[in-house]
Amino acid sequence: MKNLYPLIIFLSLLSSTTCFSQNIYFKNVNDSILPQFKDTSNKIIIVNGDSALNLKNKFSYALRFYPNMEFQSIKIKFRRSQKTVKIKPSFASIFKAPKQRTYKIYYSNLTKSTLDSVLLKNLSLNSQIGLIGIQLSRMEDFRTGGFFDFVGWYFKQLSGKAKNKINYDDELRAIEAGLGHQLLWFSKENEEKLKIEKWTNVKGYSNYIRHNKNRSMSPEIISNFVNDQPIYNAQQYK
């Protein structure tokens, strides 16, 4: 039995090394990749939603791009809403240290408009990762903030210009983290699905133009950032 100890130790080290060097850099994430990424700490809580979406795997994968992320849990809930996605810390979390904070992410499952075509469940896998990356980028910014930063963020929600700036910064942070290819995919899919000719309701399109259209980076801007950011040259994306 003692002769087996060196072999057991070697296999354990090999396993941990393989896990540590697990590749996360892909231009196009596919279903064969996701099972490798698991929520082993059970911090991702799906309150409701379709289990076929495999959200825990998708969040676990995207979280690998934010190695310093601290949180107690992420609670994900689906509901009817005109907003395709919304993220906020729980009220109690405002007064807690980053590792003790709980974040709530609400995804719409019905808007009753053409926005339904770009809900999380209706996006391609790569676009879903891009959308998730934006929410994690917001969490990353929350992580470095304190009580007054949270209060300031809530007040900024009252200004369309301020919300545009917040969303821009979130997307840029996700690109800098390494999720630029996924954000580009997400941006292109949104641009195609939300063309003016895809809308059947004038009022709905007007609301989209007023509240959503210019809130995200264009594919051209994302592409330029990806070409300029060091991580996309330093890492070999498959």
pLDDT digits 0-9 by tens, 51-62: 889 999 999 999
* CA 229 – CA 196 distance, rounded (Å): 32
pLDDT of residue 215: 81
DSSP states of 12-50: HHHHHHHHHT-----SS--TTTGGG---TT--EEESSS-
Give the pLDDT of residue 204.
84
User: Could you say which DSSP state residue 67 is in?
Assistant: T
> Averaged over 132-154, what is the pLDDT?
91
Predicted confidence band of residue 15 (pLDDT cuts 50, 70, 90): very low
**Residue the block writes with tokens 């082993």:** 40
Q: Which residues does 234 contact at the CB level (< 8 Å), separation at least 6?
A: none
Q: Return all residues near 236 (Cβ < 8 A) that are at least 6 apart.
A: 25
Per-residue pLDDT reduced to its tens digit, 177-205: 999 999 999 999 999 999 999 998 888 88
